[in-house]
Amino acid sequence: MTKPRIGVTISADETRDRTKELRLKEAYFSSIEKAGGEPVVFPMDTPVEKLAEVVSGFRGILLTGGADINPELFHGEPHPKVYGVDPTRDSIEIALANYCADNKIPLLGICRGLQVINVALGGTLYTDISDQLPGALKHPCYPDYARDYLAHNVMIKVNTHLTAITGQNQMKVNSLHHQGIKDLAPDLTMSAMSPDGLIEGVEFMFHPFFLGVQWHPECLPDSAPNQAIFSAFIRAATLEE
């Protein structure tokens, strides 16, 4: 059986000499490969009008973590901690989320990827959780702690894809973000929540696989429930062939 090709989005970070470097954590690729998929870097310079043509070469899309989405795209409050805004990445990832939602293409969003899904479908974000969510836990744990540090629990909602995939009603997760969902997009279902009330998982229920998680399962290779997320993603992508 041919391995399903998964388009993986990447960031273009500006260096000190004002050039751009394309960057991607290897763990995304290794998690897809371990689950039986073939990860391929998605061409981030794809014009939105040619999106359908390019996406046709993939069987699933992974929206990875990274810097912040432009707050203007969701009428967010300005905040000095907003960093790394990349209009090109925002544009292509939001278009990808909408296209995959409309065309039933398997999509997994991780950290920033979950936030992209929510913004694409009409939701909003906290531009800084610690300042804007009263009683918030410490969500930006890196670099004070390692990327695999289990920071807090999430409660998983029953009768969701996420609970069926993981077999869990709660999980201990890592946490590497300072932004998060404020208002959930109308078409999304909350599938996981942290003890402070922050939404940590979302899904589009009437879709073969359209899932976002706020934590980083790719950094937890020895966690069966977390790796099950990638396995379910690749199974859904395989069925698309």
Q: Specify the CATH number for the domain of residue 53.
A: 3.40.50.880
Parallel/antiparallel/unpaired status of strands 60-63 and 199-203: unpaired
Count of structural domains, the chain: 1
Max CA pair span of the chain: 50
* Boundaries of domain holding 150: 5-239
User: Contact 117/202 with Cβ under 8 angstroms?
Assistant: yes
User: For the packed helices 26-34 and 224-239, what is the interaxial angle rounded to 10 degrees?
Assistant: 70
User: Is residue 218 pLDDT above 90, yes or no?
Assistant: yes
User: Contact 240/4 with Cβ under 8 angstroms?
Assistant: yes
Left if phi > 0, otherwise alpha if psi is -120 to 50, otherwise beta: which for 28?
alpha
Under the banding of pLDDT at 50, 70 and 90, the label for residue 12 is confident
User: Is residue 20 pLDDT above 70, yes or no?
Assistant: no
Taking residues 123-136, what's their average pLDDT?
95
- List active site positions: 111, 216, 218
Q: How many CB atoms lie within 10 A of CB 70?
A: 15
pLDDT tens digits for range 131-150: 999 999 999 998 888 999 99
CA angle 103, 106, 108 (to 5 degrees): 125
How confident is the model at residue 184, as a pLDDT? Answer: 98
Closest to 59 measured CA to CA, from 37, 44, 41 = 37
Average pLDDT, the chain: 93
Calpha distance 163→146 (Å, rounded): 26
Under the banding of pLDDT at 50, 70 and 90, the label for residue 15 is very low
Q: How far is CA 222 from CA 18, 29, 146, 148, 227, in A?
A: 38, 15, 15, 10, 8
User: Contact 111/216 with Cβ under 8 angstroms?
Assistant: yes
DSSP at 69:
P
Global pTM reads 0.95
